[in-house]
């Protein structure tokens, strides 16, 4: 029997591979950690060769453990950390510099220069992004500027550049294919959303030759054939998606108005806006959700900087809990937070506020405040921050949230999920799969391969539990107003 899908999930801390069967069930997997390097404050790097070697090893492990033949795998789907950039020699395949990771801030100066040139509005309208070191274009420019001879070699056509998906595709196909998909391209600050192509004025602004960049393809389509010697069979690569878009697809948020929230160290929230690229006026990013056939689907995206990291702070910084999982039991020791509000702006505020000078604060303390109140208020901060982003999405898109589907470590906390539903006034659906990102890459590869129809996709990743709002609307708005008031008091704090 054929119809198995191999999903390659290349993340910030590990390379994973999962094989799914015809019912989209996991049958085997492999995983290897990858090393992060911090050569200077604010710099974060990966070894591209280690990324490739660990991803290859993880895939081989998954195949070995699956009890199926490599020839039974119909397709490969790739999902990856999105904004990490690699530049390599076109002929030897050797990287000319370590991969600069999405978290890296070294190109802040380049971003300031772009702002001084007055390019903010043009970049926002063309790419849907804000000027920030987060995105990969300035990382590529930095490598070309700082590696001796790189500019000259790039001009001669001797170098290639891309995000992690492009690096993996190039390696898998034996250097035959240099390609990326529309979701990863949309995170570079070089991709024109309206023309679906690299933008000449953006390339000129950063002096990046078009010739070193990958061909842009739709997310669902053939990206080449993985060579037989890697896995024991030639396998087509039939989907590529950035990790957050893959999670949106894995949650089967295929209709406009559907959204997902991944609760990790931060929160990553995406709302499907359909075939319209909605330009945000409320501090969000416009991004490509995926491209299938001739149709491109778009999403609004907002990131919360501190989510799970706030729960880690309760454990490691304050010693109020023994482990993150015990936060729910601790919070249940009290009926509610009794007016305590925690704003975990440890590194400033992300969407929709974008205040780098905001700092964390606790409000509403009384003599009766206990550790349980602080824990409960910290959990509630994750839900409040998520409502901030989703509220901005609803305003930008002009459509209400139909359902929030959730994944990530914190979603096992029933108290948090119930409060999230309460403070949103919308259903929150926790799904069966914890591996939603890999599932998304697999589902799109299967759809492209003809294994599943779009209607069949909706039968996968069913809800494990739906949390419905129980809080009265008056109480909901009173609590949210108190949150917004607290946030406003933290803004600009670092300037004092």
Out of 105-109, 123-127, 158-162, which region has the weakest mean confidence (pLDDT)?
A: 105-109
Q: In what order do the strands lie in the sheet with 295-304?
A: 285-292, 295-304, 267-274, 258-263, 403-408, 428-431, 463-467
The per-residue pLDDT for 31 is 96
Out of 84-88, 164-168, 254-258, 471-475, which region has the weakest mean confidence (pLDDT)?
A: 254-258
**Could you tell me the pLDDT band of residue 496, with boundaries at 50, 70 and 90?**
low
Per the model's pLDDT, the better-predicted residue between 432 and 8 turns out to be 8
CA 181 to CA 83: how far, in whole Å?
13
Which domains does the chain show, CATH number per domain?
A: 4-242 (3.30.420.40), 252-495 (3.30.420.40)
pLDDT digits (tens, 9 = 90+) for 201-242: 999 999 999 999 999 999 999 999 999 999 999 999 999 999
83 annotated binding-site participant: yes
Q: Which helix (H) or strand (E) holds 309?
A: helix 308-312
Q: Angle formed by the axes of helices 371-397 and 414-424, to 10°?
A: 40
pLDDT at 17 over 90: yes
243 annotated binding-site participant: yes
- The mean pLDDT of 420-443, rounded to a whole number, is 91
- The mean pLDDT of 259-284, rounded to a whole number, is 89
265 annotated binding-site participant: yes
CA 21 to CA 2: how far, in whole Å?
9
Cα 400 to Cα 165, 257, 359, 362, distances in angstroms? 33, 6, 31, 31
308 annotated binding-site participant: yes
13 annotated binding-site participant: yes
Contact 55, 231 (CB under 8 A): no
316-332 in b/e burial notation, b at 16+ Cβ within 10 A? Answer: eeeebbeebeebbebbe
Which position has the token pair 């999403």?
299
16 annotated binding-site participant: yes
pLDDT digits (tens, 9 = 90+) for 466-492: 999 999 999 999 999 999 999 999 998
**220, 223, 228, 232: CA torsion to nearest 10:** -20
pLDDT digits (tens, 9 = 90+) for 327-370: 999 999 999 999 999 999 987 888 888 887 889 999 999 999 99
pLDDT at 108 over 80: yes
The residue among 381, 50, 85 whose CA lies nearest residue 213 is 85
- The mean pLDDT of 369-384, rounded to a whole number, is 97
pLDDT at 494 over 80: no
82 annotated binding-site participant: yes
pLDDT at 158 over 70: yes
Cα 155 to Cα 215, 221, 359, 495, distances in angstroms? 17, 30, 45, 44
CA 242 to CA 444: how far, in whole Å?
12
The per-residue pLDDT for 180 is 98
Distance of CA 314 to the CA centre of its chain: 25
What percent of the chain clears pLDDT 90, i.e. is strictly above it? Answer: 77
Out of 190-194, 329-333, 407-411, which region has the weakest mean confidence (pLDDT)?
A: 407-411
What is the residue-averaged pLDDT of the chain?
93
pLDDT digits (tens, 9 = 90+) for 27-73: 999 999 999 889 988 888 999 999 999 999 999 999 999 989 999 99
Q: Which helix (H) or strand (E) holds 191?
A: strand 191-192
Contact 252, 451 (CB under 8 A): no
**Could you tell me the pLDDT band of residue 1, with boundaries at 50, 70 and 90?**
low
446 annotated binding-site participant: no
* DSSP code for 37: B
Give strand pairing partners of 233.
none
Q: In what order do the strands lie in the sheet with 159-163?
A: 45-46, 99-100, 85-89, 159-163
CB atoms within 10 A of CB 386: 24
Q: Which residues are CB-neighbours of 377 under 8 A, at least 6 positions away?
A: 337, 340, 341, 342, 362, 364
User: What are the start-end ranges of the E strands in 331-462?
Assistant: 341-343, 361-363, 403-408, 428-431
Burial classification of residue 63, based on how many CB atoms lie within 10 Å of its CB (0-12 exposed, 13-18 middle, 19 or more buried): buried
What percent of the chain clears pLDDT 70, i.e. is strictly above it? Answer: 100
Q: Which residues are CB-neighbours of 156 under 8 A, at least 6 positions away?
A: none
Question: Model's pTM, two decimal places?
Answer: 0.89
Q: Which residues are CB-neighbours of 262 under 8 A, at least 6 positions away?
A: 244, 247, 268, 269, 406, 407, 408, 436
CA 186 to CA 199: how far, in whole Å?
11
């Amino acid at each position: 029997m054929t119809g198995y899908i191999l999903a390659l999930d290349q993340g910030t801390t590990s390379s994973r591979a999962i094989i799914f069967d015809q019912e989209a069930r996991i049958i085997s997997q492999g995983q290897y950690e990858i090393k992060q390097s911090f050569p200077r404050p604010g710099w974060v790097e990966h070894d591209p060769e280690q990324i490739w070697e660990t991803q290859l090893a993880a895939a081989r492990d998954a195949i070995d453990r699956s009890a199926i033949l490599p020839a039974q795998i119909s397709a490969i789907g790739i999902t990856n950390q999105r904004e990490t950039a690699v530049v390599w020699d076109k002929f030897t395949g050797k990287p000319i510099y370590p991969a600069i990771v999405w978290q890296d801030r070294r190109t802040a100066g380049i971003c300031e220069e772009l702002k001084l040139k007055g390019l903010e509005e043009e970049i926002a309208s063309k790419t849907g992004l804000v000027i920030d070191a987060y995105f990969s274009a300035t990382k590529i420019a930095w490598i070309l500027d700082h590696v001796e001879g790189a500019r000259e070699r790039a001009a001669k056509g001797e170098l290639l550049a891309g995000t992690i998906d492009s690096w993996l595709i190039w390696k898998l196909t034996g250097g035959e294919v240099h390609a990326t998909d529309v979701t990863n391209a949309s995170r570079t600050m070089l991709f024109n959303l309206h023309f679906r192509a690299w933008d000449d004025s953006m390339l000129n602004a950063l002096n990046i030759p078009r010739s070193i960049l990958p061909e842009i393809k739709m997310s669902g389509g053939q990206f080449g054939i993985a060579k037989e010697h890697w896995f024991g069979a030639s396998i087509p690569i039939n989907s590529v998606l950035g990790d957050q878009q893959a999670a949106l697809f894995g949650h089967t948020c295929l209709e406009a108005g559907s959204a997902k929230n991944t609760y990790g160290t931060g929160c990553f929230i995406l709302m499907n806006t359909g075939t319209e690229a909605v330009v945000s006026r409320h501090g969000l990013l416009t991004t490509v959700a995926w491209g299938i056939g001739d149709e491109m689907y778009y999403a609004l995206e907002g990131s919360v900087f501190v989510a799970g990291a706030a729960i880690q702070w309760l454990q490691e910084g304050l010693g109020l809990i023994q482990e993150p999982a015990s936060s729910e039991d601790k919070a249940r020791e009290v009926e509610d937070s009794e007016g305590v509000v925690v704003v975990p702006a440890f590194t400033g505020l992300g969407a929709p506020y974008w205040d780098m000078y905001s700092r964390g604060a606790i409000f509403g303390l009384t003599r009766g405040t206990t550790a349980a109140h602080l824990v409960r208020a910290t959990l509630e901060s994750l839900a409040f921050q998520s409502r901030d982003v989703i509220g901005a999405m609803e305003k930008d898109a002009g459509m209400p949230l139909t359902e929030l589907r959730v994944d990530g470590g914190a979603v096992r906390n029933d108290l948090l999920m119930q409060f999230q539903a309460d403070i949103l006034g919308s259903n929150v659906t926790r799904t069966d799969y914890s591996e939603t990102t890999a599932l998304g890459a697999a589902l799109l590869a299967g759809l492209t391969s003809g294994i599943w129809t779009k209607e069949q996709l909706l039968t996968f990743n069913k809800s494990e539990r739906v949390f419905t709002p129980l809080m009265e609307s008056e109480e909901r708005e009173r609590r949210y107003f108190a949150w917004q008031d607290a946030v406003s008091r933290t803004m600009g704090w670092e300037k004092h």
